Structure 1
Amino acid sequence: MYTYMNFQTRIAQTKPSTLHNQEEKCPFCDRETIFKEGVVISQDGPFLLIENKFQTLEHAYQMVLVETMTCKDDLSTYDKPHLHALFDFAMRNWMSLEASGQYRSVIFFKNHGIHSGGSIYHAHMQLVGLADVDYRKHLHPEQWAGIVIDQAPGVEFNISTRPRGGFTEFNIVLSDRNALHKMAEYVQIAVHFLLNHMNRRYQSYNIFFYEYEGDIIAKIVLRAPGSPYLMGYSIIQVPNNLDETVRRVQSLYFSDAK
């Protein structure tokens, strides 16, 4: 049922945390040092894919995708050219790592906020090459099925009726890679809704990306203190107001929604 990986606690204890200490210097704003250290794997304009200096997982290679030059912006506020270019860069590097044959699988995700498992405020994503683990063996199609909020050729935006972790999860299912930019816009809408309308108290979310049977899926998850039902008993709670949430998103972001 579960996959276990060893976590290097001593390395983790040395990591900076600008989420918890705003006086701490942001390592991703200091590009001069990043380039001096020789950890840049790929670059395109403001986007960097760099080696994670804190390799906390055994049998894995951890990388960070830096999304912006400074700490000012986040995914919910990017203009469309920046948003589209970010997803182009991220997808290109993710697929290249998957095709390299170096890893059993490559996981791709984003943390935002103190409840997300992140430590750095500066907008970034993470790519992790797993030597021995194929994350796909834990995936099931029902996990990204749901009530449709909006759709366009090659991509669907829905709210999950069978969430992986419980409560509110949005899914964007990309079946045509040419619709990647539309997928990016749907992801941004989901993130903006979570931060500004769904639950302003916690201001935390994760985005998990999956490749499954030819589709690319993005799952956007509202993060808050963990449910004891899930942690203790693997019982997943599903809200009884999903239809209401769908109508709220449609009224806010899709004015022509019926």
Structure 2
Amino acid sequence: MEKEKYLVFLNDINKDKPNEFKKINMKECPFCNREKLTDIIDQKGPFVLLKNKYPTIKDTYQLVLIETYSCDNDMGQYSAEYMQELMRFGVKHWLRIEESGEYKSVIFYKNHGPNSGGSLKHPHMQIVGIDDIDYKLKIKDEYFEGIEVHKSDNCLVNLSHRPFNGFTEFNIIISDDLYGLNELSYNLKKIVHYLLNNYFVKCDSFNIFFYHFKEKIICKVMPRFTSSPLLLGYGIKQISSCEREIVDKLKSMYFQ
């Protein structure tokens, strides 16, 4: 059996990286001052795609997608039209890099908040081409199955009953022909707003992960808290005892 491959984190680059949550190397937000941005790949209105100034992972191609002009908004506050334009911009570049064939796999994700693994408050996403690791080898169909929240001809929203990491994970699923991309965008905005404002416990952090898997585009949204020691130490996953209450509240508030 082939040994599992690990990415190498480059500490010498990370020591100079600004971290707003830990108050390290922060004089100003590097994404607010657009005149100082370099290595821009594409730009459309408020959206900017550029090379990551601090590529902390060896053997990868790291890009940042800046979502807004300022630090003040979060994804749950965007208008439906703004969210649709953002998703079209981001997904287009993610799939373009994947289709280039230059990388073993290409990941597209978002960190938000102090418990998400992110370092800046300014809304942004990341696209990373990985030279030697195919993320899809670790993916199982069951990670995207669950209690139905909403379903239309082009889009399914559910709550995972066998989550990838445990507890609460929402999935938004469309075909990779992208006919449902506007619906994915609008439903993602709803779920983010719910997590930051109406989740059953106070939540200030989340992650979004995109997967291109079996002719589907799948968006997984996870609220983030301190990681479970059972997961970290033993790989034992947990689910919430109030799954049905979570689904019922989300449906009643956002999907009527």
TM-score by length of 1: 0.94
CA-CA distance at 1:129 after TM superposition: 0.6
Structure 2 Cα separation of the partners of residues 123 and 200 of structure 1: 23
CA-CA distance at 1:83 after TM superposition: 0.5
Matching of residues 28-47 of structure 1 within 5 Å = 28-34=31-37, 37=38, 39-47=39-47
Equivalent residue in structure 2 for 1:25, among 23, 28, 44:
28
- Pair 31,52 (structure 1): closer, same or farther in 2 beyond 3 Å: same
**Per-residue Cα deviation, 1:38-68 (whole angstroms, up to 9, x for no partner):** x101111110111001111111011100001
Structure 1 Cα separation of the partners of residues 203 and 17 of structure 2: 23
Alpha-carbon RMSD? 1.5
Structure 2 Cα separation of the partners of residues 196 and 14 of structure 1: 34
CA-CA distance at 1:188 after TM superposition: 1.1
Structure 2 Cα separation of the partners of residues 202 and 174 of structure 1: 27
Quote the residue 2:98 is aligned against: 98
Residue type at the aligned position of 1:109: Y
Matching of residues 102-251 of structure 1 within 5 Å = 102-175=102-175, 176-198=177-199, 201-251=202-252
Runs (4 or more) in structure 1 with deviation over 4 Å come to none
Structure 1 Cα separation of the partners of residues 223 and 181 of structure 2: 22
Q: Which runs of 5+ in 1 are unaligned?
A: none
Matching of residues 38-117 of structure 1 within 5 Å = 39-117=39-117
CA-CA distance at 1:200 after TM superposition: 5.5
**Per-residue Cα deviation, 1:128-169 (whole angstroms, up to 9, x for no partner):** 011111110000000010000011211100001011111111
Q: Which runs of 5+ in 2 are unaligned?
A: none
Residue type at the aligned position of 2:130: L
**Per-residue Cα deviation, 1:104-149 (whole angstroms, up to 9, x for no partner):** 1110000000110000100000000111111100000000100000
**Mapped contact 1:52–1:63 kept (Cα < 8 A):** yes
Structure 2 Cα separation of the partners of residues 252 and 2 of structure 1: 43
SS in 2 for 1:198: coil
Residue type at the aligned position of 1:222: P
Quote the residue 2:17 is aligned against: 15
SS in 2 for 1:158: strand
- Pair 199,3 (structure 1): closer, same or farther in 2 beyond 3 Å: farther
Structure 2 Cα separation of the partners of residues 2 and 248 of structure 1: 40
SS in 2 for 1:17: coil
SS in 2 for 1:178: coil
Structure 2 Cα separation of the partners of residues 104 and 45 of structure 1: 31
CA-CA distance at 1:2 after TM superposition: 4.8
**Mapped contact 1:17–1:24 kept (Cα < 8 A):** no
- Pair 2,187 (structure 1): closer, same or farther in 2 beyond 3 Å: farther
**Mapped contact 1:115–1:224 kept (Cα < 8 A):** yes
**Mapped contact 1:112–1:205 kept (Cα < 8 A):** yes
Equivalent residue in structure 1 for 2:8, among 3, 6, 9:
6
SS in 2 for 1:68: coil
**Mapped contact 1:230–1:236 kept (Cα < 8 A):** yes
**Mapped contact 1:18–1:24 kept (Cα < 8 A):** no
Structure 2 Cα separation of the partners of residues 3 and 164 of structure 1: 19
TM-score by length of 2: 0.95
Residue type at the aligned position of 1:182: E
Residue type at the aligned position of 2:167: F
